[in-house]
Amino acid sequence: MTQRAGLLALLCALVGLGASAAAVYVHYRLLYDPTYLSFCDVNATFSCTQVYASRYSTVWGIPVAIFGGAWFVGAGLLAVGALTARDTVRENVPGYLFLLSTLALAVTLYLGYVSFVLLKAICLLCLTTYAAVIGLFLVSGAATSFPMTTLPRRAARDLRVFVGSPLAIALVVLFLAGAVSAMAFFPREAAFAAGDRAATSAPTGVMPTQDQRSEFERWYVTQPRVPLVVPAEGAKVLVVKFNDFQCPACGQSYLQYKPIFAKYEAERPGAVRLVMKDYPLNRDCNDQMTQTIHPAACDAAVAARLAQAHNKTEAMEEWLYTHQPTMTSPGVRQAARDIAQITDLEAKYASTIALVKGDVALGRQLGIKSTPTFFINGVKIEGGLPPQYFEQAIAYELQRVASK
């Protein structure tokens, strides 16, 4: 491998490692600090938060970015080897990098599909890692001058050289220890897999420390309260959610907050009321949108409203939230028939979509810009809160009302 190619490979690895480290930092801040606004949240489409809030951002509770960072460290060590190792090893390094980057490219293509097609949200840090992987793939592919079928034999020979080098062994041990430590000690998020009904009984997330709870409360009490024309019907805490059934973050908050609402209903019936308001990110029923982001969102809103007449609201909403990746308008209409026994959707569509547009109009007055947006007794929360802080906000409101 030429020195120029080796330097290019090292540069790609360092860029990818930097982006991965930044992604881990953002993921961590989002987990622990409900007030944190990521620097890579540009709008509803270019939003790291939207991506990191999805179930695709972690594997076994570990951020994908940590796996990516470990991979780039390994690629960087190989690039250093291409610049400093003995000649017999240096000539084989491009093959190792090419094999690793080919596997990484397959993962990158899958994650790109998830981002662009399923989530319809783009993470700028993720795009940077994709570019770094592609760069390594091209550089190593161009520098590989031997048939890849000979790689196993070359690897066996280089392994004997590696075993005889204390420095190389020490570097690998440090690399493995660092990677395992990062995966083991990163705080786990509550796992809420889409489609898993058991998620509704899952824990509500990482328990904040007393200092974190105090910091959150200090932030919360400084937020302005917006008067709402939504009846509380005797509830002490009124939670209004502006929702899009095809929005991944809306589905995530539904699964995460459901146990919280169930807990308060069991302990204090009627004290906490949740009111759903529709705000589909679809130009067909939302004149505030310059482009359609979720093509099935209008039909989903209609189906959920009509399901109320058949006492199938919960079943319909759960189907909508847990089928977001594959949701289409025909699929929504079929599910409305199968799950909620709605046979007159077409006949009632016009009158029902008018109600949806009424919610959109209210959202416009309240300055809704994205979904989900919550109002907790008038306190506006864009994007929702980690479940542990959402529960703390409700508890604070109950205590505030009781002290009046």
Q: Provide the token pair at 44.
A: 């509803």
Cα 313–chain centre separation? 26
Task: Answer yes or no: are the C-beta atoms of 282 and 289 closer than 8 Å.
Answer: yes
The pLDDT profile of the chain, 404 residues, written as one tens digit per residue, is 788 988 999 999 999 999 999 998 888 777 655 556 777 877 767 878 778 767 778 877 778 888 999 999 989 988 988 888 778 778 888 898 999 999 999 999 999 998 888 877 888 999 999 999 999 999 999 988 889 888 888 888 878 777 766 766 777 677 677 766 766 665 544 333 333 333 333 344 456 677 778 888 999 999 999 999 899 999 999 999 999 999 888 988 998 899 999 999 999 999 999 999 999 999 999 998 888 888 999 999 999 999 998 999 999 999 999 888 788 999 999 999 999 999 999 999 999 999 999 999 999 999 998 899 999 999 999 888 888 899 999 999 999 999 87
Q: Would the CATH topology of 3-185 be identical to that of 197-402?
A: no
Q: Under CATH, to which class is 3-185 assigned?
A: mainly alpha
Task: Answer yes or no: are the C-beta atoms of 9 and 98 closer than 8 Å.
Answer: no
pTM for the structure as a whole: 0.57
What is the domain partition of the chain in residue ranges? 3-185, 197-402
Looking at the domain that runs over 197-402, which CATH code has it been given?
Answer: 3.40.30.10
Alpha helix locations (H) across 33-150?
48-52, 64-84, 87-90, 93-113, 124-143
Q: What are phi and psi of 76, to 5 degrees?
A: -65, -40
